[in-house]
Amino acid sequence: MDADDVALPNRLQVQGGQQYFSSRTNTIFQDVQKIAEKMEDEYISTEHILLALIERAREAGYTSLSLSVEPGNPARKLYERHGFRVVDEGADAWTMVAPLASNQGSD
């Protein structure tokens, strides 16, 4: 080990820490936080993010929402709880679709 190897850890620094997002993304994260609070959860989770995105899509007038999930992904059960159903089973990914016309799956 030479002198540069020993000195390297002293030169490494992490600065900042503030994340910057677009105003639209910030608004979605505010929605996510409100959903977590409504559900009396201390931290936000994938479910809170999914619920916020579903609500945003519904408000924008979309009648359905689709996503892709790997066949063995345990998140599939989360998606199914919120109205998503498998419509195509590809080898690498399954396509799931949820209707958004009603409040189905948004509670």
Output the pLDDT for position 104.
47
Residue 96's nearest CA partner among 87, 83, 105 is: 87
State the SS3 of the chain.
CCHHHHHHHHHCCCCCCCCCCCHHHHHHHHHHHHHHHHCCCCCCCHHHHHHHHHHHHHHCCCCEEEEEECCCCCHHHHHHHCCCEEEEECCCCEEEEEECCCCCCCC
The model carries a pTM of: 0.70
Mean pLDDT of the region 12-33: 79
Output the pLDDT for position 21.
81
CB atoms within 10 A of CB 95: 15
pLDDT at 89 over 50: yes
Output the pLDDT for position 107.
46
Output the pLDDT for position 24.
87
Output the pLDDT for position 8.
53
pLDDT tens sequence across 28-87: 989 999 999 999 998 889 999 999 999 999 999 999 999 999 999 999 999 999 999 999
Bridge partner list, 94: 69, 89
